[in-house]
Each structure stands twice: as C-alpha cells, then as structure tokens.
Amino acid sequence: MALIYGRNYTRREILERVGDVSQIAGVKKVRLADGNEEGVEAFLFKTGSGFSFTVLPGRGMDISYADWRGRSIGWISQTGQAAPQFYEQAGTGWLRSFYGGLLTTCGLTYAGAPCVDQGKELGLHGRVSNIPACCVSYDCEWEGDDYLIWARGKVRESAVFGENLVLTRRISTKMGDDRLWIEDTVENRGHEPTPHMMLYHINIGFPIVDAGSVLTSPTKSVSPRDKDAETGVESYNIFEPPTAGFRERVYYHEMEPDSDGKITAALVNHSIAGGFGFYVKYSKEELPFFTEWKMNGLGTYVVGMEPGNCHVEGRAKERERGTLQILEPDESRSYSLELGVVAQKT
C-alpha cells in the first residue's frame, strides 16, 4: 500500500479518489529547451510523498534535480544540464558540463583524475554521463496495492578499434516512497578484455550540507587522498560553512558492511527540525570502495558520497595498484543501489 497524506491507501481506495493516478504520482517525459540544455531528454518523477527527482536519458540516465517537500537534496552547479555536444574530454574539460545533480556516473572504462594510461591520454571521470541513452522506456504499473514507477535505458561507450561497453540502467520508485533504486548492468560486448571503472558520484547540497552537518557511516578507517585532505582529517565527517579559498578534500573510507553485506552512509543536517538528510545503501562486494568528496567552498558547496569499484586518482594509478577491474568479452557486472531521504515523516 502507499503511505501518502498521513495514511495507507489500497489501489482501490486511490482509484476511487482520482481520475488518473498522475494526479498523485508518476513519471512524465519532457525535453529541455533553453541554452546549452537544448534537446536533453528528461523524465520527471514524483512519488506523492513529496519526493521528486529528474532522470536524464539525454545524459547517461543520470539524476539531476531532486527534492523532498520543497527542500533541495542534490547540489546543482553553474554549468546547466548541458547537452552531450558540449562535452570536453581533454584534461579537466569534463567540469564544463558537470551539472552535479543527485547522481553523475563516472566510467565506464575510466574514472577519476586525468592521466596517461599505457600511452593513452584520459580526461577526468570518463564519458558515460555525457552519452545519451538509447532503447529508452518508462512506465507506471500496479503490482497489487503498490504503484511502481520506472525508467530504463542503455548507454553505450564504444569506439572503432576500441571498447564496446553497454550500461543497462533501470531507475525505479513507488508511490508513497521517499527513496529510489538504481539497477545497473555493464556488459563487455567487444572482443577484447576491457578496463572497467565505475563510480557513483552522489552530490549532496544545501540545506542538507550546512555548518555542522554530519556524515554517518560504518567507517573503520579514513585515508586522505593527498596533502589537502590531511588538513582537518580528524573532522572528515563534519562540514563547515561556505569558506572562501576552500580546497577540496577527498577521503577514502574503509567500511564495515552489515550482516547482509550492505553499507549504508547518510549525510544529515540535525539543525533542521526533525533532521533532514539523504542516504545511500549498496553492496560492498559489488562496490568495494567509498570516496568522500568534501568541498565546502563558496558556491561549490557540496559533499560527494561516492561508492565505486575504483579510487579517484585515474586509471594509470589503478593499474599500478593492481586494483583495475577488467571485463572479459561477454562478461558483465551488476550493481544495485538504494538512495533515499532521511527525515521525520508526518
């Protein structure tokens, strides 16, 4: 049943009260039409609980805007949800189309810092978020008293004489829920072993991120990525007010999974009445690494919760460490994540 407006409703009770369920919950397909966003396809989701989010098949099936009862969740940058033709591969050019959003996927063959790997120049964080999805579908359907809302698409990263990886992604939620699920499968449809790096760049912003907000996680140990991150490492999980000249701090967490092999990390602002935050839950076996991006600057005021199968220093470093994942021909990897709101429900 759907918990909406303070009580549980069956399918029959809901259908007796509306002409169409879209009055309460559903998904709508739109096309963005302004500036550098022109032509980007989007799906607008709403669950009826006050939880809404936007999925962009025009940008790798990632998630841009998200809010709960009027409160913003994800950080949004100044770049806009730029169309794929504005993608710049070289160096840190990726940042010119990094809108942030609730989720930006990094991969599929490389992620992390720019580098040169086996003579090949690689830019920041990979291509996948700047590739439009194909074979896109979406729908809403009843399953007993549950109303399911979903979208699905395929994103192919490929080149002649190069890789041929396909990401199949399904994003779903339910009427009355304050959470969503991501189900991904990455398959090597090529004929050669291919590097595979996958990082879920989950970007949380104000008002969840504010002075005194806290990252809660089953962390056993924290390692700073570099000297910048060594500054204030003892307060890695407590966030500062917007600070001029703040340099990003990146931390690698070693997490202890629960009895089901799952890890749950949440970022919460307890100064908001009842507390307000957002969590991510995932399998450590599927995604063994967790990176925290602490960026408390002016405007770029964001905290990244980033499960992945890699670190963020680039593919060459991953290869050097011996942690670079390889997909053999016809081999696939699957990843499942749950993302949701932390708040006092009324």
| 3-state class (DSSP) for residue 22 | helix
Name the phi and psi angles at 13, rounded to 5. -65, -35
On whether the CB atoms of residues 151 and 169 are closer than 8 A, the answer is no
Alpha carbon distances (Å) from 255 to 46, 233, 239, 288: 32, 17, 20, 9
> Could you give the number of structural domains in the chain?
1
Digit-by-digit pLDDT tens for the chain (346 residues) are 899 998 999 999 999 999 999 999 999 999 999 999 999 999 999 999 999 999 999 999 999 999 999 999 999 999 999 999 999 999 999 999 999 999 999 999 999 999 999 999 999 999 999 999 999 999 999 999 999 999 999 999 999 999 999 999 999 999 999 999 999 999 999 999 999 999 999 999 999 999 999 999 999 999 999 999 998 899 999 999 999 999 999 999 999 999 999 999 999 999 998 899 999 999 999 999 999 999 999 999 999 999 999 999 999 999 999 999 999 999 999 999 999 999 977 6
Confidence (pLDDT) at 346: 62
Q: Is the pTM of this model over 0.85?
A: yes
**Parent domain of 70:** 2-343
Tokens 């699920």 -> residue = 181
On whether the CB atoms of residues 31 and 42 are closer than 8 A, the answer is yes
Rg from Cα positions in the chain: 20
**Tens of pLDDT along 216-255?**
999 999 999 999 999 889 999 999 999 999 999 999 999 9
Confidence (pLDDT) at 220: 97
The span from the CA of 195 to the CA of 192, in Å, is 10
The CATH number covering residue 63 comes to: 2.70.98.10
Residues 6+ apart with CB under 8 A from 104: 62, 98, 125, 129, 201, 203
Confidence (pLDDT) at 306: 98
On whether the CB atoms of residues 112 and 199 are closer than 8 A, the answer is yes
What is the number of residues in the chain? Answer: 346
